[in-house]
């Protein structure tokens, strides 16, 4: 009977070894997938940072300091920016105008910009919260 117990013990250890090796192989496969994904994400992050820097430089170059310091009409200043950049959100417009020296007469510049560009004939609001420059608004082609 001791021989039988010995065989059972060895069989259970061999079974445990097989299960552990199988689990180890699965984990190594998952590790390979994780490492590949980490490299993909690192590349994506690098590309996004480069894109952000490019756009920040592009916007920064086009908006000179004190550019809007003598402009009194918020709609006109906002329209100039949107036309140049093709599309911008409210926060980008506020930052650009402040950087350009525009003096807001309110504590809520975003709200003021919204109302300033609301009826502008060449500015539409897209579904993404962006204000976009168009040659004419829809429905105004025949006016």
Q: Say yes or no: 1 and 13 in one domain.
A: yes
Same domain (yes/no): 69, 57 = no
Write down the pLDDT at residue 60.
Answer: 60
Beta-carbon contacts of residue 99 (< 8 Å; ≥ 6 apart)? 60, 63, 65
Structural domain total, the chain? 2
Nearest to 73 by CA among 113, 119, 111: 113
Q: Would you say the pTM of this structure is higher than 0.85? A: no
Sign of CA dihedral 104, 106, 110, 112: negative
Per-residue pLDDT of the chain (143 residues; tens, 9 = 90+): 588 888 888 999 999 999 999 999 999 999 988 998 999 989 888 888 888 877 777 666 555 566 666 667 888 889 988 998 888 999 999 999 888 888 888 889 999 999 888 888 899 988 888 999 998 755 454 33
List the CATH number of the domain containing 126: 1.10.10
The reply to whether 49 and 77 lie within a common domain is no
Domain boundary among 45, 62, 79: 62
Alpha-carbon span 91 to 97, nearest angstrom: 10
C-alpha to C-alpha distance for 104 and 71, rounded to whole angstroms: 11
């Amino acid at each position: 009977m001791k021989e039988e117990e010995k065989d059972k013990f060895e069989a259970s250890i061999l079974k445990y070894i097989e299960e552990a090796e199988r689990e180890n192989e699965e984990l190594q496969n998952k590790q390979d997938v994780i490492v590949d994904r980490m490299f993909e994400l690192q590349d994506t992050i690098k590309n996004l940072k480069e894109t952000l820097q490019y756009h920040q430089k592009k916007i920064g170059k086009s908006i000179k300091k004190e550019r809007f310091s003598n402009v009194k009409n918020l709609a006109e200043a906002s329209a100039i920016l949107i036309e140049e950049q093709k599309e911008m959100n409210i926060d980008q417009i506020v930052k650009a105008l402040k950087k350009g020296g525009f003096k807001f007469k309110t504590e809520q510049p975003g709200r003021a910009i919204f109302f300033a560009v609301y009826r502008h004939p060449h500015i539409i609001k897209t579904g993404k919260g962006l204000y976009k420059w168009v040659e004419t608004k829809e429905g105004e082609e025949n006016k």
